[in-house]
Chain A
Amino acid sequence: MLPSMPYDSKNLVEDWRGDSRAIQKYGFIHHFIPDPDTKTRSKLLSTQAVLIYFIVLTLIFGLFKLIPFIKPGVLGYASNIHIGELLSSTNKERGKAGLSELKINSALSEAAEEKAKDMFAKGYWAHVAPDGKEPWDFILAQNYDYSYAGENLAKNFDDSDEVVRAWYNSPSHRENLLSKNYNEVGFAVVNGVLDGYETTLVVQMFGKVRTPTYTASAPEKPAPVVEEAPSVEIPEEPAVSEERTLAEVPADNVQPAIDVSSAVRSVNIVFGGFLVSLLGLDIWFSKKFGIKKVTGHTLAHIAFLIMAFVGVWFAVAPGRIL
């Protein structure tokens, strides 16, 4: 039971001298509220307690890192990414920059799909595979004879707009998104387990087929040019391939057993709420019972911790781009 005002701890101890349980309760309550005798913060805000929080946070972090090795696929990133939205967001950004829209090309989409599957199969996250296979190898394997080609990668994102926004915010990826050299694009959104995490890989491949412009400088040899560049007919396909590709791709939803983003935010809320509540109690009790402590400013700690929690909540985007 909490003492009523005025808070005279000496009298309380006198009163409770014959009641050991009451003294235990008095001791226990100071885990949560400041102690007027020692003029210190609650025990759960002591240096030792904060050091224990470091250990608890490290253990939780370690658990997040360990689970993918013990039970691959249990942890993951929930996602709801659609190729149609990726295309429209990409073209929206190009439109803002006064550039022409990119058309979906089935060969580039197929190359992107193969690249995503290759990353899952070989367990890597890079533009160049461990065996040295480059993005261009996937594109050429689809008989897409390009004059310009490029690749953007993304993983762990939860929606299509975020993916394109992340690419747009990175200078090198924006260069691909807003390049005048491309007129076609292919996307793949593939789900799987990478590094033990259930995730969604997004591969965006840009291209422009090699145009037979040099036939003008070699008009006497038109035939070989056509033979060497069978993909010159590809630009005529997009209307058909766009319909087919977009229709064939289902809504790519991933719902892992434990969503990493939600778990991180939950830990953040529980831990942050706990600390801010303790600090709030510290202010309240200190003011109510006139406890003058020689400590840092509690209000400043609350403001700083809230900044950290807001930062983690809003600023930590789980998605990564390459």
Chain B
Amino acid sequence: MDRDDHLTHYAVLFLGLALIVGFLIYFRFDRPIQLMVGAFGALFYVAWGVIHHAFEDRLTKEIVMEYLLFGILAFLMLYFALSI
């Protein structure tokens, strides 16, 4: 993967994450929608990680697990904060 592709992938990631934060703030008085946005954010992140590493041709089970764990961890934090 060349440098431009790498930058494009990261631009997509940062744009996606910024949009998710924007939606979380926009729907701050609607918890069910916030939870859906959070879940979508976690899925987006895992999908980004898998696709990005597949393009890099170095996708392994461990890497998928790593993205999955970080995705779940972030969603769990949001879920707990919204449920308390």
Contact = CB atoms under 8 A, between A and B. Distances in A.
A131 to B, nearest CB: 28
B84 A61 contact: yes
Output the residue of A65, A260, A304 with the most chain B CB within 10 A.
A304
A300 B10 CA distance: 8
A126 B14 CA distance: 41
Given A297-B52, A316-B28, A311 B38 contact: yes
Contact of A316 (B17, B62, B71, B82): B82
A167 to B, nearest CB: 9
A314 interface: yes
Interface string A167-205: 001100000000000000000000000000000000000
A166 B31 CA distance: 12
Contact of B34 (A51, A64, A310, A315): A315
A268 B82 CA distance: 12
A76 to B, nearest CB: 12
A136 B69 CA distance: 50
Contacts of A219: none
A78 B18 CA distance: 30
B48 A300 contact: yes
A65 to B, nearest CB: 7
Given A315-B21, A315-B24, A295 B63 contact: yes
B76 interface: yes
Given A312-B81, A317-B28, A307 B21 contact: yes
A311 B49 contact: no
Interface string B44-75: 01001100110000101011011101111111
B30 A315 contact: no
Nearest to A260: B84
A65 B31 CA distance: 18
A50 B70 contact: yes
Nearest to A312: B81
B25 interface: yes
A47 B65 contact: yes
Contacts of A301: 66, 70
Contacts of B18: 307
Contacts of A314: 21, 24-25, 28
A140 interface: no
20 contacts: A47-B69, A57-B76, A61-B80, A165-B29, A166-B29, A260-B84, A268-B77, A300-B52, A301-B70, A303-B13, A305-B70, A307-B18, A307-B41, A308-B41, A311-B21, A314-B21, A316-B28, A317-B28, A317-B29, A321-B29
Interface of B: 10, 13-14, 17-18, 20-21, 24-25, 27-31, 34, 38, 41, 45, 48-49, 52-53, 58, 60, 62-63, 65-67, 69-78, 80-84
Interface of A: 47, 50-51, 53-54, 57-58, 60-61, 64-65, 165-166, 169-170, 260, 264, 268, 271-272, 294-297, 299-301, 303-305, 307-312, 314-317, 319-321
